[in-house]
Amino acid sequence: MNKRYVMVHDENKCIGCQACNVACRSENDVPEGVTRLQVRVEGPFGEAPDLHFKYHRVSCQQCEDAPCVTVCPTGAAYIDENGLVSIHNDKCIGCMYCVAACPYKVRFINPITKAADKCNFCKDTRLARGEQPACVTVCPTDALYFGDANDSTSEVAKLLNTKITYQDKTHLGTKPRVYRVPTKRGGIQS
């Protein structure tokens, strides 16, 4: 594996504004009615005045051990040379096993291509042009970081070494590569 692309979502900086959602749709031509990425503003939790929202990034977690890949009967779902969970549209038969298997509920059948679809860190679009993913590019409050965690000089590597982070549903052994910096208001100090 050459690279280990990861995304870090700082929930302290995130304001749930959906700029990432819109940029993702524009860059990747995501059809109406389905979504690769959104931030759900959940809550408020707690007792007033000590309330807090949770800013929950909902998108492909780029699992290192990806259930969607394991269950795919045709090899349409695969992991590429840089570890990105990807889809061969031509090989997809629309059986939706992957949709059902994904513990994060972020895969869907694209109504235009009729193939399974989800966030791939803008692999075909922005990454291919040497740019950062669309969501990272536009994030108004710089809440998103993207890069190669194998490169110890990268911003993400430094972040992972210095900040408390968590990943979603790690007990499933999926090893997600979307890391989250928990909000201070949630009780965990980062």
Partner 1 sequence: MIQLNRRHFLQGAGASGATCALASILPGSLAAIEKQPLKGVSSEVASICEMCSTRCPIKARIVEGKNVFISGNKEAKSFGGKVCARGGAGHSLLYDPQRLVKPLKRVGERGEGKWAEISWDEAYQFIAQKLTAIKQQHGAESIAFSSKSGSLDGHVFHLAKALGTPNTFTHASTCPGGYVIAAKAMFGTKMKRDLGNSKYIINFGHNIYEGINMSETRGMMQAQMDKGAKLVVFEPRFSVVADKADEWHAIRPGTDVSVALAICHVLINDNLYDKLFIEQFVVGFDEFAAEVKQYTPEWAESVSDVSASAIRRIAHEYASHAPHAVVDFGHRATFTPEEFDMRRAIYAANILIGNIERKGGIYMGKKASSYNKLAGEQVAPELAKPGVKDMPQITAKRIDQVDKQFKLMWSSGGIYQSIIDASLDAKPYQLKAWIMSRTNPMQTLTDRSKVEQSLKALELVVCCDLYISETAAYADIILPESTYLERDEEIFDKSGKNPAYYVRQRAVETIGETRPSWQIFKDLGEALGLEQYYPWENIETLQLMQVNRDHNLLKHIKKLGYVSYGKPLMLREPSMVKEFVDAYANARHVDHDGTFATAMKFKTPSGKIELTSAQVEDMAPGRGVIKHRPVQLKQADELYFIQGKVAVHTNGATHNVPLLSNLMSSNAIWIHPITAGRLNIHSGDAVQLTSSVGSEEGTALVTPGIRQDTVFAYMGFGSKNKELVRATGKGIHCGNLLPNVVAPICGMNLHTTGVKLAKI
Contact footprint for partner 1 (CB under 8 A):
12-13, 15-19, 21-23, 25-27, 32-35, 38, 40-44, 47-49, 51-53, 58, 96, 99, 105, 108-109, 111, 134, 137-142, 185
Closer of 25 and 180 to partner 1 (Cβ): 25
- CA 59 to mean position of chain CA atoms: 4
Minimum distance, C-beta of residue 59 to partner 1, in the bound complex (Å): 11
Closer of 33 and 130 to partner 1 (Cβ): 33
Give the alpha-carbon dihedral of 102, 103, 105, 107, to 10 degrees: -20
Instruction: Give the type of residue at 11.
Output: E
- Find tokens 């009967």 and name the residue: 73
Q: Kindly list the distances between the CA atom of residue 185 and the CA atoms of 40, 47, 141, 179, in Å, as whole numbers in the listed order.
A: 17, 12, 18, 18
3-state secondary structure of 156: helix
Minimum distance, C-beta of residue 189 to partner 1, in the bound complex (Å): 13
Q: What is the spatial distance between Cα 42 and Cα 138, in angstroms, rounded to a whole number?
A: 22
Minimum distance, C-beta of residue 46 to partner 1, in the bound complex (Å): 8
Contact between residue 21 and residue 35 where contact means Cβ atoms under 8 Å apart: yes
Minimum distance, C-beta of residue 7 to partner 1, in the bound complex (Å): 17
Minimum distance, C-beta of residue 170 to partner 1, in the bound complex (Å): 22
Q: Phi-psi category of 94—alpha, beta or left, where left has phi over 0 and alpha has psi -120 to 50?
A: left
Closer of 1 and 96 to partner 1 (Cβ): 96
Minimum distance, C-beta of residue 150 to partner 1, in the bound complex (Å): 27
**Within a 10 A sphere around the Cβ of 120, how many other Cβ atoms?**
21
User: H or E element: which one contains 69?
Assistant: helix 67-71
Closer of 65 and 142 to partner 1 (Cβ): 142
